[in-house]
């Protein structure tokens, strides 16, 4: 194996990935498996998880699937504990699960607000807190939070979502400050709109996508594999100096 390939390999690592049944999370499962990691795939949809697991195993890696409701206080902890029991200590955590309840602030219900905070913020904290002790003990760990461009740059009708992602960015930095001395890196990825099936459904209409793309220098949205590739870099030895970073991957939107 060439030296540069070793630096970008995660062979032999165990990665827990939430939101793994579709979209960005599913693509991260496949990319990580292709780079040598065994996968613990967590989501609510067991049937979709089975398809992702088949893809992972076709790449020659093990895959444990866990169904969990991350909107509950106990769901993330139970998922993390089950992962440890079934797969062993986790080396890499990717918090990709998320919900977006799009509505003007004056119309946003409290239930939607609380669900957004539970899934997008509380669950990543509880998963990290449960899995980090083993990372600290072995002095190697990677935690990657899939945040959003909207956690940095405001977007109308995204009050709850933007608030949760802005707080997730702050959580990223806080956990880094506590765990960096133990060689645990904690970083966040902030994508633009990504063309998952849901993204295509919401953003395909020209009247919605047009103004957003006009404000994006690159002039296009992202693809799941582009987010997965950045996650792989952060999970690999090549990125061990990167810690507490909130990385924009949005075609230049925030730079103009």
List residues with catalytic annotation: 161
CA angle 17, 63, 65 (to 5 degrees): 65
b (16+ CB within 10 A) / e for 26-63: bbbbbbbbbbbbbbbbbbeeeebbeebbebbeebebeb
Secondary structure element (H or E) that encloses residue 48, with its range: helix 46-58
| Residues with Cβ within 8 Å of residue 114, at least 6 apart in sequence | none
Cα 168 from Cα 154, distance rounded (Å): 15
Torsion angle (degrees, nearest 10) of CA 71, 73, 77, 82: -60
Torsion angle (degrees, nearest 10) of CA 168, 18, 161, 170: 0
31 sits in the region (left: phi over 0; alpha: psi -120 to 50; else beta) called: alpha
Are the CB atoms for 52 and 41 separated by under 8 Å?
Answer: yes
Two tokens at 218? 């690159």
């Amino acid at each position: 194996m060439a030296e540069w390939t070793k630096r970008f390999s995660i062979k032999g690592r165990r990665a827990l990935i939430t939101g793994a049944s579709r979209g960005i999370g599913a693509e991260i499962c496949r990319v990580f498996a292709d780079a040598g990691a065994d996968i613990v795939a967590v989501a609510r949809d067991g049937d979709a998880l089975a398809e992702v697991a088949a893809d992972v195993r076709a790449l020659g890696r093990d895959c444990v699937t866990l169904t969990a409701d991350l909107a509950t206080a106990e769901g993330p902890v139970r998922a993390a504990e089950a992962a440890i029991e079934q797969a062993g200590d986790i080396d890499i955590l990717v918090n990709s699960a998320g919900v977006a309840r799009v509505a003007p602030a004056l119309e946003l219900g409290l239930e939607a607000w609380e669900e957004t905070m539970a899934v997008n913020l509380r669950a990543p904290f509880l998963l990290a807190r449960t899995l980090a002790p083993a990372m600290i003990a072995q002095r190697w760990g990677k935690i990657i939070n899939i945040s959003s461009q909207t956690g940095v740059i405001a977007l109308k009708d995204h009050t709850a979502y933007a608030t949760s992602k802005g707080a997730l960015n702050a959580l990223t930095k806080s956990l880094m400050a506590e765990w960096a001395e133990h060689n645990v890196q904690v970083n966040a990825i902030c994508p633009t709109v990504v063309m998952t099936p849901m993204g295509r459904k919401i953003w395909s209409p020209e009247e919605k996508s047009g103004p957003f793309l006009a404000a994006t220098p690159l002039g296009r949205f992202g693809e799941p594999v582009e987010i997965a590739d950045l996650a792989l870099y952060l999970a690999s030895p090549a990125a061990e100096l990167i810690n507490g970073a909130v990385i924009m991957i949005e075609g230049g939107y925030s730079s103009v």
